[in-house]
Amino acid sequence: MTDKPHVLLLHGALGAGEQLEPLSRSLEELFTVHTLDFEGHGGSPAADRPFRTEHFAENLVAYLDGQGIEQAHVFGYSMGGYAALHAANVQPERLGRVFTLSTKLDWSPEFAAGEVRMLDPDRIADKVPAFARLLERRHSAFGWRNVLHSTEEMMLAMGERPEIDAAMLRAIDIPVRIAVGDRDHMVSIEECIEAYRALPGGELQVFPSTPHPIEKVDTEMLASALIQFFGAG
């Protein structure tokens, strides 16, 4: 039996656990690393309910239960950060430390409307067919068009009623680091500062020359930050 700390890596919207394999390989010498596909993503079948942060947080806890893991550190990229923060609020004893990257925390109806305009599957298939083929391969269980439509509905709901707010952040009593890239055009440094200040055990990290897509994040730079944060204390 390994005595390495458990680390669970959570993917973002339209993503799947496979995207985090490079990061997993960079961490596996020091940690027992896990990934999962949220319900309706990747190879995970959809549940009979809409995409919601609270449901993805339940997926997180169910994964820990299924693996017999009492507690794990959690890294959440983008949407995965919502699931991690929600789980930290409702079941903090199951999480050691939480590290979020590129997690949008300032939602509005206007912002959501702008985001969903980019989720039209017909437009994607016509304008960026390579991306459509990637999504089709990635989301084998629920289907990529269904994933897009469900994500669109979730984002519009978040615009009307954000699922993570300052009151929730103030109630999280475990260490949390909020990270963002300085070239992220979706998530602002200012909203991350506001979230970090609301967290009792909050930390803030800004990565240089780093945009939003996980594929464009320097894996070794991110892994080094996770090792430092999860290995501390």
Mark 118-139 as b/e (b = at least 16 C-beta within 10 Å).
ebebeebbeeeeeebeebeebb
Q: Which two tokens mark 109? A: 């109806």
Instruction: Report DSSP letters for the chain, one per residue.
Output: ---SPEEEEE--TT--GGGGHHHHHHHTTTSEEEE-PPTTSTTSPPPSS---HHHHHHHHHHHHHHHT-S-EEEEEETHHHHHHHHHHHH-GGGEEEEEEES------HHHHHHHHGGG-HHHHHHH-HHHHHHHHHH-TTT-HHHHHHHHHHHHHHHHHS-SS-HHHHHT--S-EEEEEETT-SSS-HHHHHHHHHHSTTEEEEEETT--SSGGGS-HHHHHHHHHHHHH--
Q: Which two tokens mark 225? A: 């930050």
- CA 172, CA 118: separation in Å to the nearest integer? 33
- CA 187, CA 102: separation in Å to the nearest integer? 6
Q: Quick one: pLDDT at residue 1?
A: 47
Question: What residue ranges do the domains of the chain occupy?
Answer: 6-107+164-231
CATH topology assigned to domain 6-107+164-231: Rossmann fold (3.40.50)
Contact of 75 with 225, CB cutoff 8 Å: no
Q: Which residue has the tokens 């939602």?
A: 107
Distance from the Cα of residue 37 to its chain's centroid: 11
pTM (two decimals): 0.96
10-residue averages of pLDDT along the chain (233 residues) = 87 97 97 98 97 97 97 98 97 97 96 95 96 97 98 97 93 97 97 97 97 97 98 62
